[in-house]
Amino acid sequence: AALNDGLRSQVSAALKEGRVAPTELCQRCLALIKSTKFLNAYITVAEETAMKQAEESEERYKRGQPLGILDGIPVAVKDNFNTAGIETTCASNMLKGYISPYNATVVQKLLDQGAVLLGKTNLDEFAMGSGSTDGVFGPVRNPWSYSKQYKEKSVPKSHSEESNWVITGGSSGGSAAAVSSFTCFAALGSDTGGSTRNPAAHCGVVGLKPTYGLISRHGLIPLVNSMDVPGILTRCVDDAAVLLGSLAGHDPKDSTTIQDDFEPFELPNLTDVSKLSIGIPKEYHAPGLSSEILALWSKAADLFKNAGAKVVEVSLPHTRYSIVCYHVLCTAEVASNMARFDGLEYGHRSDMKDSTESMYAATRREGFNDVVRGRILSGNYFLLKQNYEKYFVKAQKVRRLIANDFVKVFRSGVDILLTPTTLSDAAPYTEFIQEDNRTRSTQDDILTQAANMAGLPAINVPTALSKRGLPVGLQFIGRSFQEKQLLTVAKWFEKQVQFPMIQLEEVKRHDSGVFQHQKSASFS
C-alpha cells in the first residue's frame, strides 16, 4: 500500500488482507512527519500513543476482528479539539501546557473505530485567521511550495525556497498540510467562516464542511457557537464520506446536534447528471476574483452543461453583506466564548495576585495575541447596551436574510450551487503578512462564509493547478443535511477533473510506490 492510497478502496483493503501492518503504516507516517518538519504542520506528535494504538489495531487485524474501515488508519486532529492526555493549545500561549482531561466527541469516535491519532495540527491562534500564520508556534507552510509543479513555475531566485514558500490558508492549515503531504490519511479541522475549505483549496485536498448540527461540537473549543462545525479533510471525496459516516449523528453532550438518525452511506458512481440542476450564484463573481479561477469556474459549469445537467444562473442578493454580518456576530460570540479564559481552572495564569480582576486582566493580556484581543474588544463594543440593537441584533436580522436567500434558491429547483472557494491561489507568506489578520480574513472568507451563516453543507474539491503550479479548488454548496447528494456530485466532478498528484521529494524518499503511476488523487 502506498501513502497516497484512498481509504475505502486501497489502504483498508491492504490492512485487512495483511499486505501492510498498522504499525508499519504508522511508522511510515511518523517518519514522514519528521522529514517534513519544516512545514510546521504539527504542534504535537503523539508518537508513543500512536504506536500503541497501531499495535492494538494490528492485534485486531490478526484476530480477524477489525473495528471497521478506519481501524489502523493514521489521522491528525486540529489543535482546537480536546484530546485526553495530549496537549491542546489552540496555538495560543493561553493554553500552552494544557493537557485535556477528555476527548472531544469526534476524537472519541475516531479512536473507538481504531483510528491512530498521530498528533495535533497547527492553526491560527484560536482558529482566528485565514492563513494559519498567526499561531504562537509559527506559520504553516504549504507543501505545494516544495512541489516539483511549483518549483518549475517559479522564477529562480538566489534564496528561492526560503522566501518563496506559500501559505496554506486557514485556519485549519496544519490539517490541510498534513493530508496534502501524505503524513496522514485524513484530518479533522474546524469551519466557522471557511476554515476547512480555504486551506483545502490552497493545499489541493478535499475539505468538507458538514451541515450545522450534524456533527458534535462537544470538545471543540468554540469560536462562534452558532456557526462552528468540525471539518473533514481528505485526499478524495470517497474518504470524506467514510469520515462523515463515522462522525455524524446525535450527541447527547451537544444539544445543538439534531436528533434525526444518521445513516452512513457509500457514494454511488454517478453516470447520469441530466436530472441535476446546478446553480451559479452571480454574486460569487466577487471583486478580486482572479481571472484564472473565473475561467475555471466557467469551465466547470460547462462541464456540467455538456454532461446534460441543467445549469442556471441564480442570485443570492445579500452575499456581500455576509462578511460584515459575520464580522459582528463572530466578534460578539468570541467576546463571550473567550471569557472562560481567566487562569483559574486551566491554562495560563498570571503571577499577578492583587485582585481577581487584575489577575484575570494580566492573564488575558499575557495569553492572547493581538488578533484575539482585537476581536474580543470589538465584540464587546458591539454588545454594549447602546450598540446592541444597532449592530448585534441588526447582524442577526441580516443573517436571516442571507439564510433566506439560499432557501429561495433551493426552493426554485436548484440542487447544488457551484462557486469558487478562494479568490486566488495561495499567496507567498511574505506577501500575505503585508495586510493584517482582519483585513485578510474579510477578503479570503468572502466565498466561504455564507454557508456557515446559513448552516449549509459545503465542500471544496481540488480542480486544477494555477499557472504558478499551485492548487485551485471549486466549492459545492448543498441543501441542509443532504450531504449524500452533495458528495455524490462532488465525487462525479472529482472524477472529471482528475486533479494531479503533488510531486514531493520527501514523499518519494519514503514511499517508492507513489510515483510509479501519475494517477489522480481520486482512487475510486
Partner 1 sequence: MRALLLGRWLRAGPGPPRPESRNGGNGGHRGNGGHRGNGGNGGHGPLRQKVSVEVLDHLEHLALVDFRDSEGVERLHKAIQFADQLHEVNTDGVEPMDSVLEDRCLYLREDDVTEGNCTKELLENAREKVEEYFVAPPGNIPLPKLEERETFLQGS
Residue 3 or 208: the one with the smaller Cβ distance to partner 1 is 208
With b meaning 16 or more CB within 10 Å and e meaning fewer, what string describes 339-352?
A: eebbbeebbbbbeb
Q: Order of strands, edge to edge, in the sheet holding 74-78?
A: 42-45, 116-121, 74-78, 186-191, 229-234, 206-209, 458-465, 471-477, 416-420, 277-281, 310-314
Residue from 126, 106, 147 nearest 245 by CA? 106
Query: Contact with partner 1 (CB under 8 A): which of 384, 413, 505, 513?
Result: 384
Site string for partner 1, 428-457 (x = CB under 8 A): --------x-xx--xx--x-------xx--
**Phi-psi domain of 68 (left: phi exceeds 0; alpha: psi -120 through 50; beta: other):** left
Radius of gyration of the chain measured on its C-alpha atoms: 22
Determine the Cα–Cα distance for residues 524 and 300; give it in Å rounded to an integer.
Answer: 21
* Residue appearing with cell numbers 501519475: 518
Residue 19 or 285: the one with the smaller Cβ distance to partner 1 is 285
Determine the Cα–Cα distance for residues 91 and 74; give it in Å rounded to an integer.
Answer: 22
Determine the Cα–Cα distance for residues 150 and 471; give it in Å rounded to an integer.
Answer: 10
Residue count at the site for partner 1 (CB under 8 A)? 89
Catalytic residue among 92, 100, 145, 171: 171
Shortest Å, Cβ 482 to partner 1: 14
How many CB atoms within 10 Å of residue 35?
15
3-state secondary structure of 126: helix
Residue from 27, 42, 76, 352 nearest 188 by CA? 76
Map the footprint of partner 1 across residues 225-284, applying CB under 8 A.
225-226, 250, 252, 255-259
Residue from 287, 303, 319 nearest 409 by CA? 319
216 is catalytic: no
Determine the Cα–Cα distance for residues 400 and 311; give it in Å rounded to an integer.
Answer: 26
All three cell numbers of 117, joined, read 491519532
**Is residue 136 part of the contact set for partner 1 (CB under 8 A)?**
no
Shortest Å, Cβ 44 to partner 1: 16
Catalytic residue among 12, 57, 78, 181: 78
**Is residue 157 part of the contact set for partner 1 (CB under 8 A)?**
no
Residue 81 or 382: the one with the smaller Cβ distance to partner 1 is 382
Query: Contact with partner 1 (CB under 8 A): which of 13, 307, 401, 433?
Result: 401
Residue 163 or 225: the one with the smaller Cβ distance to partner 1 is 225
Residue 182 or 392: the one with the smaller Cβ distance to partner 1 is 392
Shortest Å, Cβ 432 to partner 1: 16
Query: Contact with partner 1 (CB under 8 A): which of 37, 299, 365, 467?
Result: 365
195 is catalytic: yes
Query: Contact with partner 1 (CB under 8 A): which of 54, 398, 459, 501?
Result: 398
CB 141 within 8 A of CB 165: yes
CB 122 within 8 A of CB 195: no
Shortest Å, Cβ 169 to partner 1: 18
Site string for partner 1, 308-347 (x = CB under 8 A): ----------x-xx-xxx-xx--xxx-xx-----xxxxxx
**Is residue 407 part of the contact set for partner 1 (CB under 8 A)?**
no
Half-sphere exposure of 282 toward its Cβ, with a 13 Å CA cutoff?
5
Map the footprint of partner 1 across residues 453-492, applying CB under 8 A.
454-455, 480
Catalytic residue among 100, 145, 147, 195: 195
Query: Contact with partner 1 (CB under 8 A): which of 352, 428, 482, 524?
Result: 352
Shortest Å, Cβ 393 to partner 1: 5
Shortest Å, Cβ 199 to partner 1: 21
Residues 6+ apart with CB under 8 A from 38: 141
**Is residue 10 part of the contact set for partner 1 (CB under 8 A)?**
no
Residue from 477, 240, 439 nearest 230 by CA? 240
Map the footprint of partner 1 across residues 49-78, applying CB under 8 A.
none
Query: Contact with partner 1 (CB under 8 A): which of 13, 93, 98, 153?
Result: 98
171 is catalytic: yes
Half-sphere exposure of 434 toward its Cβ, with a 13 Å CA cutoff?
5
Beta strands in 210-276 (DSSP E): 229-234
Residue 416 or 454: the one with the smaller Cβ distance to partner 1 is 454
All three cell numbers of 374, joined, read 482585537
**Is residue 523 part of the contact set for partner 1 (CB under 8 A)?**
no
Helix/strand/coil (H/E/C) assignment for every residue in 38-86? HHCCEEEECHHHHHHHHHHHHHHHHCCCCCCCCCCCEEEEECCECECCE
Map the footprint of partner 1 across residues 196-215, applying CB under 8 A.
212-213
Query: Contact with partner 1 (CB under 8 A): which of 396, 482, 520, 524?
Result: 396
Shortest Å, Cβ 369 to partner 1: 11
Residue 142 or 337: the one with the smaller Cβ distance to partner 1 is 337
Shortest Å, Cβ 395 to partner 1: 6
Residue 108 or 175: the one with the smaller Cβ distance to partner 1 is 108
Q: Which residues are catalytic?
A: 78, 171, 195
